[in-house]
Amino acid sequence: MKSKIKALIHPIRMRIMQTLLDGKKMTAGEIAEKLEDIPQASLYRHINALLKEEILTVVSENKIRGTVEKVFSKSATLESSMAKELDEASREDHFNYFFSFLMGLLGEYEEYLQEENIDFEKDGVSFRQCTVYLSDEEFMELMMGIGEKLFAAMKKEPGENRRLRTIANIVIPSKKYNEKG
């Protein structure tokens, strides 16, 4: 069985999909301009993997000097097929998705630590955990607020004073205290 989630959970593939937010349609060249830190061969390999899993779709083709330039967009059925896949996934599948996600983050952190000059404070490096007591409504309000802020930040283009940063969000509910309060 194909797994769109397993295909999408790779950090580079997530970034490719992020460039196509808001229904954007882009060529591989336009995606490459946005993700200039990713080698072209890697970018094309990941675009092809997303096409193979029907996460990306070709929405049009432009003929340019004897070649065909493809224009990509997020698949129209992506959300519904991923929701179905998540619903049908076993606990082991969910664990493996989470593990793959964490391994991607560890890889990015290890890459950062290999840089010549690092300054944790200046670079804004952090990882933290907090516990909160919230009703379902309060929790959804919090997540919507965070989501709005992150979505606005994801739309920002590379610029002179902007540095590429990865922000990961993990929510793990606890059954331990559900009966209280």
Tell me the per-residue pLDDT of 74-103, one tens digit each, with 9 for 90 and over.
998 888 988 999 999 999 999 999 999 999
CA distances from 42 to 19, 47, 49 (A): 16, 9, 11
Alpha-carbon gap, residue 78 to 55, rounded angstroms: 6
Phi, psi of 24 (to 5 degrees): -65, 150
CATH 1.10.10.10 fits 4-78, yes or no: yes
Q: Encode pLDDT of 115-168 as tens digits.
A: 999 999 999 999 889 999 999 999 999 999 999 999 999 888 888 888 889 899
Helix (H) or strand (E) holding 102, with range, is helix 91-113
pLDDT > 60? residue 1: no
Please report which confidence band the pLDDT of residue 2 belongs to, taking 50, 70 and 90 as the band edges.
Answer: low
Residues 38/15, Cβ–Cβ less than 8 Å: yes
User: What pLDDT is recorded for position 178?
Assistant: 57
Please report which confidence band the pLDDT of residue 177 belongs to, taking 50, 70 and 90 as the band edges.
Answer: low
Alpha-carbon gap, residue 106 to 173, rounded angstroms: 23
CB under 8 Å to 111, separation ≥6 — which residues? Answer: none
Percent of the chain exceeding pLDDT 70 equals 96
| Chain centroid offset of residue 98 CA | 13
